[in-house]
């Protein structure tokens, strides 16, 4: 009995200690915050199941940041009660994760995982542009980041543009600055660095330099280059890729990665590496082992393994016209998409939106009907009954009675009974 009490007491103390790292915020936060504070805030609703699932992760994030001595404070706010705070941060859905730093608000749209949220907090909560002052520090940064976007050189208008881009895109990737002397010498054997200043992206074991004449706007170039040439893609990453305007070539594979699935994956990876110069401006490359998102996009079951090119800007997609067995087949497929000879399927037209709404409703209700038929009929029947009653009442109040009067010419005129009629004065006989 005493052992059980000790366990309960220990659990309560642990919960209290963990909760101490996350502060409950209300509308008074708008008056008490200071300009130098950095806050990571989760907005939730008491009835939101996803918010409840995120709660243990959120306390882990608060504990981890506190133990690391991070300047980031962690809080949470009931958006249904603290409506002023939710309005200030323009909260539209739950749970919403945002960071407030020096009067700038940053929205987190990545996976709701401990590591994903911690990376966001450390990236946005730290310096906007991190200085790499030695080759050792540069190598350390490269070992930790798959993508590094670096400004090289002294102060210049290009650096101002680089800093402006970092203010907006820090939610997605890290930004660094360095002198030419600290860059790894081995990389310059592959690509020569042009005259300084320069903006360079390091990824895939090499680097690529920004050229304004060819690449256009710096911010758009960084947005396009902030993903590796080939990677495992989930729904969050795929959504983020849609913001760049590029198409995405996907190998849809099974979770166990069968031999055939592995062949599809390697084929996409080979094309992304060997033909980068031809396709990198138009395509991202990757593989997915969860096809649920793609099922919703094409509104049908998908074959695994298979290939698909996705256009996230308009919810369109392309499928190979013939079976892809070789690299040449895959290149022909990409050429057809790039040149416009292949017709786009899907899209976001009104017809497609209606179809997608019906598909989503069907996929949502089907499991309910199979597992709980009574609940399914209730969920479907109540809206149908309410709609029927509403239509009946509308029809009942609709004017249906008409009165026929005669005009001066004797023609019949139909007057709706719902229109208030003036009473005719009584004719009096003249004396």
User: Catalytic one among 51, 385, 391, 394?
Assistant: 51
Distance from CA of residue 76 to its chain's centroid?
21
Q: Which of 57, 43, 75 is nearest to 114 (CA)?
A: 57
Instruction: Say whether 48 is catalytic.
Output: yes
| 395 burial type by CB count under 10 A (0-12 exposed, 13-18 middle, 19+ buried) | exposed
CB 255 within 8 A of CB 290: yes
- Long-range Cβ contact pairs of 275-281 (< 8 A, separation 24 or more): 275/331, 276/229, 279/334, 279/338, 280/229, 281/224, 281/246
Instruction: Say whether 394 is catalytic.
Output: no
- Any alpha helices (H) in 192-307, and if so which ranges? 212-215, 218-225, 235-242, 259-274, 276-279, 292-298
| Residue showing tokens 């997608």 | 356
Coil, helix or strand for 399? coil
Instruction: Report how far residue 298's alpha carbon sits from residue 65's, in angstroms, rounded to the nearest whole number.
Output: 41
Token pair of 65 as six digits: 């940041």
Q: Which of 95, 118, 217, 228 is nearest to 168 (CA)?
A: 217
| Residue showing tokens 């009574």 | 374
Cα–Cα–Cα angle for 263, 335, 290, rounded to 5 degrees: 40
Length of the chain: 431
Angle, in degrees to the nearest 10, between helices 350-371 and 373-396: 130
Instruction: Report how far residue 172's alpha carbon sits from residue 175's, in angstroms, rounded to the nearest whole number.
Output: 10
Please enumerate in sequence order all residues whose Cβ is within 8 A of that of 181, keeping only pairs 6 or more positions apart, or say none: 135
Q: Which of 61, 99, 95, 76 is nearest to 26 (CA)?
A: 76
Phi/psi-derived region of residue 102, left when phi > 0, alpha when psi is between -120 and 50, beta in every other case: left
Residues annotated as part of the active site: 48, 51
């Amino acid at each position: 009995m005493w052992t059980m009490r000790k366990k309960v007491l220990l659990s309560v103390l642990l919960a209290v200690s963990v909760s101490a790292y996350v502060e409950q915020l209300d509308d008074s936060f708008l008056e008490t915050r200071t300009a130098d504070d950095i806050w990571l805030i989760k907005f939730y609703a008491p009835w939101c199941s996803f918010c409840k699932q995120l709660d243990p992760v959120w306390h882990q994030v608060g504990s981890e940041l506190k133990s690391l001595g991070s300047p980031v404070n962690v809080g949470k706010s009931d958006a249904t009660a603290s409506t002023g705070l939710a309005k200030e941060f323009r909260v539209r859905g739950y749970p919403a994760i945002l960071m407030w730093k020096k009067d700038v608000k940053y929205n987190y749209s990545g996976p709701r995982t401990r590591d994903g949220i911690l990376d966001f907090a450390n990236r946005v909560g730290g310096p906007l542009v991190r200085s790499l002052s030695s080759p050792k520090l540069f190598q350390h940064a490269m070992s930790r980041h798959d993508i590094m976007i670096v400004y090289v050189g002294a102060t210049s208008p290009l650096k101002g543009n680089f800093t402006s881009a970092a203010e907006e895109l820090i939610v997605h990737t890290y930004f660094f600055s360095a002198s030419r002397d600290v860059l790894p010498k081995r990389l310059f054997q592959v690509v020569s660095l042009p005259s300084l200043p320069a903006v360079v992206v390091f990824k895939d074991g090499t680097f690529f330099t920004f050229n304004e004449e060819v690449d256009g706007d710096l911010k758009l170039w960084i947005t396009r280059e902030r993903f590796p040439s080939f990677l495992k893609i989930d729904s969050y990453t795929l959504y983020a890729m849609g913001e760049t305007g590029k198409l995405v070539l996907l190998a849809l594979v099974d979770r166990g990665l069968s031999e055939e699935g592995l062949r599809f994956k390697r084929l996409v990876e080979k094309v992304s590496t060997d033909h980068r110069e031809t396709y990198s401006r138009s395509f991202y490359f990757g593989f997915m082992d969860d096809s649920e998102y793609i099922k919703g996009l094409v509104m049908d079951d998908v074959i695994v393994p298979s290939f698909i090119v996705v256009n996230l800007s308009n919810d369109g997609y392309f499928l190979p016209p013939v079976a892809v067995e070789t690299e040449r087949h895959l290149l022909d497929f990409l050429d057809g998409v790039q040149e416009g000879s292949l017709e786009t399927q899907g899209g976001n037209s009104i017809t497609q939106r209606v179809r997608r709404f019906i598909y989503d409703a069907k996929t949502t209700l089907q499991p309910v009907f199979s597992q709980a038929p009574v609940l399914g009929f209730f969920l479907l029947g109540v809206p149908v009954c309410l709609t029927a009653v509403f239509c009946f009442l509308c029809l009942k109040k609709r004017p249906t009675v008409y009165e026929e009067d005669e005009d001066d010419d004797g023609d019949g005129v139909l007057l709706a009974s719902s229109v208030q009629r003036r009473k005719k004065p009584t004719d009096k006989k003249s004396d």
